[in-house]
A and B are shown apart, each in its own frame.
Chain A
Amino acid sequence: MKYGVVKLTKELLRNAIHPVTVNYPAKKDSLGELTEIVDESRGKHRFDEVKCVGCGACAIVCSSSAITESDSDLERTLSVEIGRCIFCGRCRDICPEKGLELTPEFEISKKGQNANDCIRVEHSVPLGPCDKCGRPTFPIRQIESVKKRVSENIDPANLVTVNKDMEIFMRYCPDCRRTASYALRTHPRKSY
């Protein structure tokens, strides 16, 4: 029975020689020095200026509604409210263009009185104007990427027609597309 105390003493004396404490606040680079932070670690977000097309898939999939997209004046802003995010990494996984990363940056604490003072990660992409009414439609880069995807995946026989159609449709906003669907030959009854 007393053996436990002897064992513990030995263990403690061994511990005394090898403390396992990290130097964190003293040396900034010691973040995760013992754990080799993996490339998929989930810290503060970063939008890739080039890759992100502004489709807003991350906003739809976000499990705590921390990512919001707001359109204003030919610009779409995706903003991540870090103070609401749960860092599940779903946005990164779902991103079709791999335009959103979670960096291993964990020093995100801030002074502040309320949630508005918390860090926000924002990214804006330009929206293309509707050819007809001039209102903002979709992000320009998203239109391009959709075109690219469609032309990659479509049956080559239809490629020319589809490409031509897309040239017209993609520049209209949904409302204008609806009203102009006869002219654009997209109305379902048109073919009858």
Chain B
Amino acid sequence: MRLGLREKARAYSPWIFHAHAGGCNNCDIELAACFAPRFDLERMGIQLRNNPRHADIFLVTGPAPKQIAPMLRRVYDQVPNPKVAIACGSCAITGGIYNRDDEKPNYAIGGPVEKLIPIDILVPGCPPRPESIIQGIMLALEKLRHR
């Protein structure tokens, strides 16, 4: 498949913004591990940016408690197009263990994340292994190229 320089560059240098939306931190430290020596994501030119304005991939962890939900949406809007959103961890996808058994909504949870922002990639796991996260990011690259 021939790609233009623009699409290539997009897939070659994705910058990630990590939005923590509640959750227990396990996903966050596994994401940190992705940028640490063992699973160095910079091999692929991927950088962790702390500024949503610089990001291409918006990675969300956590079930999005009600208080942070509007902030999450707002930060997502600050990411310039084209962008891809990854829901990382079981609680970002469905709410995971923070769901109530009787299927009534948990009073504190405004998520799952799919309710608040459009999600493109799902990375299940609690916490997902760094390998899973890397695989998710590779899928995100494919998606980003065709945005």
Contact = CB atoms under 8 A, between A and B. Distances in A.
Interface of A: 19-22, 24-25, 31-32, 34, 43, 63-66, 81-87, 106-115, 117-119
B112 interface: yes
Interface in B133-147: 133-136, 138-139, 143
A112 B126 contact: no
A113 B114 contact: yes
A127 to B, nearest CB: 24
Contacts of B132: 106-109
B112 to A, nearest CB: 7
Interface of B: 37-40, 43-44, 90, 93-97, 99, 101, 112, 114, 118-126, 128-136, 138-139, 143
A84 B103 CA distance: 13
Given A25-B138, A83-B93, A115-B94, A106 B125 contact: yes
Contacts, number: 108
Given A25-B44, A25-B135, A20 B37 contact: yes
A118 B124 CA distance: 8
The interface residues of chain A, by DSSP majority, are classed as: loop
A82 B44 contact: no
Given A83-B124, A109-B128, A115-B122, 15 more contacts: A20-B38, A21-B37, A21-B43, A25-B135, A31-B131, A64-B99, A82-B124, A106-B128, A108-B132, A110-B121, A110-B122, A114-B119, A117-B122, A118-B122, A118-B124
